[in-house]
Amino acid sequence: MKKMLAISMSLIMAASLAGCSSGGGAGKSTQPQTAQENAGDKAPGEPTSGKKRTIQLGHIDPAQDVDPYHTLAMNFKTEIEELSGGAITIDVITDAQLGSELSMMEGMNMGTIDMAVITNFSFSSSVPDFAVFDLPYLFLNREQAHAVLDDTSITDAMEEELYNDFGVKILSWGEGGFRSTINKKRPINTPADLKGIKIRVPENSTYVDTFKALGANPTTMASSECFTALQQGTIDGLEQPVTPMYTYKSYELCDYISFTEHFYSPITLSVSKFIWDDLSDEEKGWFEEAAKKAAEEERASAKETDDKLLKEMEEAGVQVNEVADKQQFRDAVKPIHEAFAADVNKELLDKINEKIAEIQ
């Protein structure tokens, strides 16, 4: 399949956007069989209608009910097993046992990984248009994000390129959450409050450029090093969604959570072309319906989950503050939007901004 080299080269810059998780860890030496192996190593496209399937669905996060990756995966498992009457069984593999997100993407490209919950970031090194969703302050609220991600006139072209050139089909878009700051120094209300604060960011140039523009001192490091780096003072804080602040216990070492909400992180439910092309029309219908329902349910629970976890972190002594006026932040990162428009796809960004204007 063409462009496999691009995916292989992109593995060197893999970084988990789920927060400070163990994402990127190596897979186990012995793994469950893929659906292709379960089906008897058939050639892609050989009919299997009427046969039972067991399909692996991997993600990098822990098997926790509050985790968005795991919630989306388990929702899909429940929905499709019910729709198919048990003809399709989903085996959810957690904790990066199948590798990093980029490793799983490469596996779907090669047919060695069936399905995965993956962020848009993992696709952007292969299809640059996906990087539009990494732009800071692109969305003001969840409603805007959902409206854009559900608009096929916006997402179809990039999804088709991903499928045709890299063998990965996106079935639905879920929510990883808005990313905000958690740190040991002080509350953040204006960009000036970030001055000099050492913030860990993923190895993503947009993230680095964003925090430089906001006055912070961004530091890239492996996600597995975050907790120790906080303990030792190598970094002062992190930027991540609410859930990983809680599940990876960042709040135990930090005093302040500030709702800067600088990035919105979508997550996708994706399937290998080898699996998709092997499905009957009826099975494809099950997959599409189950994926849509799974994402809707995961999104619907996201805010409630955030509120619950924030309450627990506040009770543990963390100070939480809303950022009343984000305009200074938005003004500071305008050059990053302008660079995307100039270097990647101005038409796409314009179309997204037009959609957002309809929701305001």
The tens digit of pLDDT for each residue in 117-137 reads: 999 989 998 999 999 999 999
The answer to the question of residue 333 being in a domain is yes
The pLDDT value given to residue 222: 80
Domain count, the chain: 2
Stretch 79-108: mean pLDDT: 97
- Sign of the C-alpha dihedral computed for residues 151, 157, 162 and 168 taken in this order: positive
Provide the sign of the torsion angle of the four alpha carbons 231, 233, 236, 240, taken in this order.
Answer: negative
Same domain, 256 and 321: yes
In whole numbers, what is the pLDDT of the chain averaged over residues?
A: 89
The bridge status of strand 168-183 relative to strand 256-272 is: antiparallel
Q: What's the full length of the chain, in residues?
A: 360
Report pLDDT for 19. 46
Helix (H) or strand (E) holding 72: helix 68-83
Residues 214 and 80 in one domain: no
182 CB-near residues (< 8 Å, 6+ apart): 237, 238, 239, 240, 245, 250, 251, 254, 256, 257, 258, 318
Same domain for 197 and 220? yes
Written as one letter, the residue type at 65 is D
Q: Are 148 and 356 in contact (CB under 8 A)?
A: yes
Query: Does 11 share its domain with 94?
Result: yes
Residue 349 falls within a domain, yes or no?
Answer: yes
Eight-state DSSP code of residue 34: P
- What proportion of the chain, given as a percentage, has pLDDT over 70? 86
- pLDDT band, residue 51 (cuts 50/70/90): confident
**250 shares its domain with 351:** yes
| Res. 2 pLDDT band, cuts 50 70 90 | very low
Same domain, 170 and 184: no
Residue given tokens 């692996």 in the structure block: 56
Q: How far apart are CA 291 and CA 106, in angstroms?
A: 21
The confidence score (pLDDT) of residue 224 equals 79
Q: Say if residue 65 is in the same domain as residue 126.
A: yes
Q: Tell me if 149 is assigned to some domain.
A: no
- For position 30, what pLDDT does the model report? 35
Residue 250's domain is classified under what CATH number? 3.40.190.170
Same-domain status, 255 and 352: yes
Residue by residue, DSSP assigns 224-274 as: GGHHHHHHHTS-SEEEE-HHHHHHTTGGGT--EEEEEEEEEEEEEEEEEHH
Residue 291 in any domain: the answer is yes
d(CA 216, CA 171) in angstroms, rounded, equals 37
CA dihedral for 330, 118, 184, 308, sign (positive or negative) = positive
How far is Cα 160 from Cα 270, in angstroms, rounded to an integer?
Answer: 13
State pLDDT tens for residues 31-48.
445 555 554 444 433 334
Residue 29 has pLDDT above 50, yes or no: no
256 and 279 share a domain? no
| Residue 22 belongs to a domain | yes
Task: Look at residue 308 and tell me if it is in a domain.
Answer: no
Q: Provide the CB-side half-sphere exposure for 100 (13 A, CA).
A: 20
pLDDT exceeds 70 at position 218:
yes
pLDDT of residue 5: 36
Structure letter (DSSP) for residue 35? H
Burial degree of 226 (CB within 10 A; 0-12, 13-18, 19+): buried
pTM: 0.86
Identify whether residues 110 and 201 lie together within a single domain: no
Matching residue, tokens 């314009």: 350
The separation between CA 195 and the C-alpha centre of its own chain, rounded to angstroms, equals 28
CB 98 within 8 Å of CB 73: no
Domain that holds residue 96: 4-142+154-176+266-301
